[in-house]
Chains A and B, each alone.
Chain A
Amino acid sequence: MTADKRAASVAASVAVLLLIIAGWQAVASKGLISPVFLPGPDRIYAAIVKGVERGDLVAQTGETIRRMILGWALASVMGVAIGAVIGVSEAARVWVAPMLEFVRPLPASAIAPVAVVIFGLTDRMVLFLIAFGALWPMLLTTIHGFSNVHPRLREVSRTLALGELAYVFKIALPAATPDILGGLRLGLTVALILTVVGEMITVQGGLGARILLGARSFRSADLFAGVALLGAIGLVSNGLLGLAESRAFRWKPR
């Protein structure tokens, strides 16, 4: 597809979305569905504006983002570091890796009760939940990346007398980077989900708490506004990582 055609296609697609929103607005204005369950886009927009003016929406959004990023960053550092050590060592893979397979089928949110037992209904519980949940996909993909370095590159490293540390940083790490970045992306998705779960359980601020309270008090416009913002957070964070990924891999054959 040429660049012009692509631009036209995107424009048409945006037009479709706007049409759907307009249709939704029409349905809501006519009162066909109770505004308690499905508020119109105008009321959602008003809720966002009011929330921003009051300042609480911005604060809550910031809190959610902060938790998500912090937990994700913690999990990233640990996941990549531990994953590198396990992935590079043949011995570690035999003894340690099978144990990780036990944890894999576990839903990350099932850890939430354990986190509550250990930390109570606190901010730290949410952070622990996010970090723990995001850790596993990153750990597993990192191990996969490091253990799947082509054996030929190992041999090249030996014939060049490169040394173990140099091998890890100059060869294994760059070779594993596609997998690692994929894991980071997956981890971010998990982090967002667990942020919302954690906030809903502890009800201590953040968008998760906001939308749950919105449901309980039938303030649907507030609720939908929060959901929209969460979707936006997901979109932007994923998009940014995707951008970083394509930047890092200009050498990959497309």
Chain B
Amino acid sequence: MALASAVQNAAARLIVDNVADRKPQLVFQSVSLSFGATEILRDIDLTIGEGEFVCVVGPSGCGKTTLLRLIAGLLKATGGAVAYRGQVHDRPSSDIAVVFQDYANALLPWRTAEGNVSLALEAARKPRRERPARIAELLRKVGLETHAKRFPTEMSGGMQQRLQIARCLAQEPSMLLMDEPFGALDAMTRQKLQDEILAIVSQSNVTTFFVTHDLEEAIYLGDRVVALAPHPGRIAKIFDVSIPRPRDQLTTRETPEFLHLRHKLFTFIREAEA
């Protein structure tokens, strides 16, 4: 018994340690962003390594969505530099996929589930013959294979969000950006999708940047949690999540490490808001 848990601990530490040795993929160097006179982000210094799962939390107005849109290339920094794989990054890149919070607006209502996934393959100019197989595989991965011919308006919120994820995976991204993707869903669906994301991400080793206002979700999912302070948005603190993987909704959330981190994070946010 003791030997088994010792081996488990050692293995966990190995996994955790690997996080620190990851190759940097995305680098923010003193990045700031202003819209006219309003400063949205100030002096963001952040390095995200390959395969990392980084969660970003903070009160409203702290600029976490803006940060995500900077990585997506939908916004340009007004100060500092954003580098992706060593190159200057100021526009969208087809291997960075974005899952938007308002899934209904991000899907094409006139196309079926298959059609929506196909859009990404069409954009990537994948040969026509290969598409049906790839689409079927992706829909299976997110559990929508029986709904392939359904329209988004005929699906529940959770299903629509899964469809968006499937389309993002069709891009074969090396980086996945998720903007409060489960915010509009009910608690049970949220938990299910959290686990599904963890499974998908661990399979493909894609780097994930996850914005959420749910502190527990951030700890449950992430390797690191970045806490932003508002007005203007800046990095207040970065927490390392040294909880071993794979994680489980019931047991992980009861472990001392989780509760300890939760306590630290909650206190930090509360003090920051004061």
- Which residues of A pack against B, CB within 8 Å? 150, 152-153, 155-156, 158-163, 166, 170-171, 174-175, 177, 251-253
* Bound complex: CA A166 to CA B118 (Å): 13
Give the residue of A155, A158, A160, A253 whose beta carbon is less than 8 angstroms from that of B153.
A253
Question: Are A251 and B153 touching (Cβ within 8 A)?
Answer: yes
* Bound complex: CA A251 to CA B123 (Å): 23
* Bound complex: CA A165 to CA B153 (Å): 26
Give the residue of A152, A177, A253 whose beta carbon is less than 8 angstroms from that of B105.
A152
**B100 interface residue (CB < 8 Å to A):** yes
Main secondary structure of the interface of B (DSSP, over half): loop
Measured CB to CB, the nearest residue on chain B to A248 is: B110
Residues of A within 8 A of B98 (CB): 155-156, 159
Give the residue of B97, B100, B123 whose beta carbon is less than 8 angstroms from that of A155.
B100
Question: Are B96 and A159 touching (Cβ within 8 A)?
Answer: yes
Residues of A within 8 A of B171 (CB): 160
Instruction: Offer 14 A-B interface pairs, CB within 8 angstroms, sorted by A.
Output: A152-B105, A153-B105, A155-B100, A158-B73, A158-B74, A159-B74, A159-B98, A160-B119, A161-B94, A162-B122, A162-B123, A175-B108, A177-B110, A251-B153
Question: Are A161 and B93 touching (Cβ within 8 A)?
Answer: yes
The answer to whether residues A171 and B108 also contact, given A159-B98, A253-B153 and a CB cut-off of 8 A, is yes
Question: Are A161 and B92 touching (Cβ within 8 A)?
Answer: yes
Measured CB to CB, the nearest residue on chain A to B74 is: A155
Question: Are A160 and B106 touching (Cβ within 8 A)?
Answer: no
**B82 interface residue (CB < 8 Å to A):** no
* Bound complex: CA A153 to CA B105 (Å): 7
Tally A-B pairs: CB < 8 A: 60
Tell me the residues in window 91-144 of chain B with beta carbons closer than 8 Å to chain A beta carbons.
92-94, 96-98, 100, 102, 105-106, 108-111, 119-120, 122-124
Residues of B within 8 A of A161 (CB): 92-94, 123-124
- Which residues of B pack against A, CB within 8 Å? 72-74, 92-94, 96-98, 100, 102, 105-106, 108-111, 119-120, 122-124, 151, 153, 171
Give the shortest distance, in Å, between B118 (CB) and chain A (any CB): 10
Question: Are A153 and B108 touching (Cβ within 8 A)?
Answer: yes
* Bound complex: CA A251 to CA B152 (Å): 8
Question: Are A153 and B106 touching (Cβ within 8 A)?
Answer: yes
Residues of A within 8 A of B106 (CB): 152-153, 155-156
Give the shortest distance, in Å, between B164 (CB) and chain A (any CB): 9
Given known contacts A171-B108, A174-B110, what 6 new A-B pairs fall within 8 Å (CB)? A153-B106, A155-B100, A156-B106, A159-B72, A160-B119, A174-B108
Give the residue of B94, B110, B122 whose beta carbon is less than 8 angstroms from that of A166.
B122
* Bound complex: CA A174 to CA B97 (Å): 23
Measured CB to CB, the nearest residue on chain B to A174 is: B110
Measured CB to CB, the nearest residue on chain B to A152 is: B105
Residues of B within 8 A of A158 (CB): 73-74, 92
Give the shortest distance, in Å, between B69 (CB) and chain A (any CB): 9
Residues of B within 8 A of A159 (CB): 72-74, 92, 94, 96-98
Measured CB to CB, the nearest residue on chain A to B107 is: A156
* Bound complex: CA A150 to CA B104 (Å): 11
* Bound complex: CA A152 to CA B151 (Å): 18
Question: Are B151 and A251 touching (Cβ within 8 A)?
Answer: yes
* Bound complex: CA A160 to CA B111 (Å): 16
Residues of B within 8 A of A166 (CB): 122-123
Give the shortest distance, in Å, between A251 (CB) and chain B (any CB): 4
Question: Are B93 and A170 touching (Cβ within 8 A)?
Answer: no
Give the shortest distance, in Å, between A249 (CB) and chain B (any CB): 8
Give the shortest distance, in Å, between A151 (CB) and chain B (any CB): 8
* Bound complex: CA A9 to CA B111 (Å): 36
Give the shortest distance, in Å, between B125 (CB) and chain A (any CB): 10
Residues of B within 8 A of A177 (CB): 110
